[in-house]
Structure 1
């Protein structure tokens, strides 16, 4: 894990205009969803065949461990032994990188966050998933199924894997009193100027929008991923205002952990895995979901439309969300597992409480990463919203 290479965000080539995909003139096996676009015509696998002997996995770091980072952390080798599918793992550091790599056609499955999944659906890089071929899907939390980031028009495009919040995180020896609002990161007069660390991705614009939703209600923001011109400009301006406060933008959580450990940064947005790792190495760190709520992720395992190893792909989907393996991944990565039976398999029985794994109310407070598209995701039809391509351009400007 400590040898993980840094993956940089800001890959402009990854931006996909979903509206263009929705008007390609092709019919679809799925009707238009609330997302406002019609996916390309692709069929889900009808039945499993003989395992093809190989599987190329594109995954967030920590999702497909084979013992190379930590010999004690290995759920890939047992899968290979059970199925005969030799696994090749390619980790990625941002959703933009994942989308770009999927377009190469070299991968069979991908663990996609909501800011990547719709792009993969709209472009035809990911196909519908036949959940009947994934027995463990029956035990996935109901509040993770049939969501805007993993389904279109009532058709499932993947298997929920794990979820969590992007937490407000601070060093308790440097930040007092304990913050209860994101204002500690966004207020121009924050006493922690030059010591703030923020996520390096266009999707971070949603964090600013969520803050404005609470503090400037006159903007009318209902969904931080559905921003019209005025709302988008306000969020971008807030991030430009924040820029002098920021010491570093992170895309590698190990680098963020190091910055917090060394007190190069004392407050920021972080994943639970970062908090666990940094506290485990002795740093006085705490985290919380502030009063405004938080953005977060609900990751989905998706099957590549061009996959030549679809039986192995489905074997992986079922294996990775099985109770024992889902528990292993969640415990190692630092997130809530998707499988309702996974908590019983945890080594540390307190972790599911820490991650609110069975708390549908907590899950509802998270604004999950979702790909911004022109068709406003909050249901408005009288305006157009800014799409991910425009978010990407703005992010480049914000960082200067």
Structure 2
């Protein structure tokens, strides 16, 4: 996506947080550039600074906070969690931040997080139970993370272009199928490529693969590289390619499902037998924050409200408050694959991140594969 088109879609609020992140990365932009882009009103008393993804600073997501305090917090923006972590470690002062669950352990070990008193967050009781049990977000008998938004990563495919026998037994292996060479696409990520290949091979310890197991994963990644049309950075790439028939299947997020179904494109979102990937992001309290503590808790509670959840779901992604789904149009839920949320979130396989030294090994291997070194 070129810069002009990116800016136009951002102004129209057509981009999700993940689309914005991918678009910025593709154009080589970061938080400095984001300061020039539109955001919500700032500098509302009392003082509160929330370090956010672009697109989550909109007033629609914290209306009860605005009603109580007369305006929004200050919203410095980041383009990636690693950028946010390094800046906070370097002394950047914020009160709250919005990482994903798989990064909470790293942030906590960097000693930049404060525990959260969930009794001060009334809406916390309505969070999906599975999200309260995510590993690494609870430690030392304390809560370090409040789930807010969520989504899936799976295969989005054209029902009229993929043979029924190839999806009868739904599997991630579709993205490695030589039958569709040149008509498949994968997200331009790193450790996730390892995890998906490992799942196809029947491995369970995705985040701690031995060197011998990685040697078994390598040929599958090389095979995938040869059958892909491209690794995508921007979700609009696969949406347009699937709509035109250039692609028959691609790794995708929920938002793309809604976009294509709204256009009348015959697509389905797979639930692979090896497991659909679920990501959950949320809010944390940051050590050294200089803002009002009660305002911070009120902001978290506002983001968790069912009304905020209805707006969040309308953007194409899920929300942690179960009551939001009762208030959302059933047709919208069905289009996003949330028509049976109770079952869906009970079975969610929430993504985790590999610790070192595995993380660095995975990244090095994937980089070599993409570069054609291996």
User: Partner of 2:148 in structure 1?
Assistant: 161
Give the structure 2 partner of residue 65 of structure 1.
Answer: 58
Match of 1:150 among 110, 126, 137: 137
Q: Once the two structures are superposed, what CA deviation does each residue of 1:157-181 show, in whole Å capped at 9, x if it has no partner? A: 1111233331211122322226222
Indicate yes or no: 2:197 matched with 1:208: yes
Following TM superposition, by how much is the alpha carbon of 1:270 offset from its aligned partner in structure 2, in angstroms?
A: 0.9
Q: 1:316 to 1:333 in 2, by over 3 A?
A: farther
- For residue 236 of structure 1, report the CA deviation from its aligned partner: 3.9
The CA deviation at 1:78 is 5.9
Q: How big is the shift at 1:224?
A: 1.9
1:2 aligns with 2:9: yes
Structure 2 alignment gaps of length 5 or more: 1-7, 29-43
Kindly provide the CA deviation profile for residues 197-220 of structure 1, in whole angstroms up to 9, marking residues without a partner as x.
Answer: 11222231212222222xxxxxxx
Aligned length: 331
CA contact (8 A) 2:149 2:280 kept: yes
Task: Rate the CA distance shift 1:301–1:97 in 2: closer, same or farther, 3 A.
Answer: same
Distance 1:87 1:293, change over 3 A: same
Alignment of 1:218-233 (within 5 A): 221-233=203-215
What CA RMSD, in Å, does the superposition of the two structures yield over aligned residues?
Answer: 3.0
Structure 1 counterpart of 2:46? 52
Q: Secondary structure at the match of 1:238?
A: helix
Q: Quote the residue 1:289 is aligned against.
A: 271
* Gap change, CA 1:235 and 1:357, over 3 Å in 2: farther
For the 8 Å contact 1:111–1:300, the answer to whether it is kept is yes
Residue in structure 2 matched with residue 141 of structure 1 by the alignment:
128
**Residue 282 of structure 2 is aligned to residue 300 of structure 1:** yes
Aligned residue number for residue 183 of structure 1: 173
> Residues 63 and 329 of structure 1 are in contact (CA less than 8 Å); yes or no, is this contact kept in structure 2?
no
Deviation at 1:255, TM superposition (A): 3.5
Q: Which residue of 2 aligns with 1:393?
A: 364
TM-score, structure 2 length as denominator? Answer: 0.77
Aligned 8 A contact 1:55 1:85 in 2: no
Give the match's secondary structure for 1:242. helix
- The residue that corresponds to 1:329 in the other structure is 312
Equivalent of residue 132 in structure 1, options 90, 106, 119: 119
Give ranges in structure 1 of 5+ residues lacking alignment: 12-49, 67-73, 214-220, 375-385
SS of 1:303's partner is strand
The alpha-carbon distance between structure 1 residues 209 and 266, as it changes in their structure 2 partners (threshold 3 A), is same
Aligned to 2:261: 279
Would you say the 8 A contact 2:198–2:204 is kept in 1?
Answer: no
Q: Which stretch of the first structure deviates more once superposed, 175-184 or 130-139?
A: 175-184
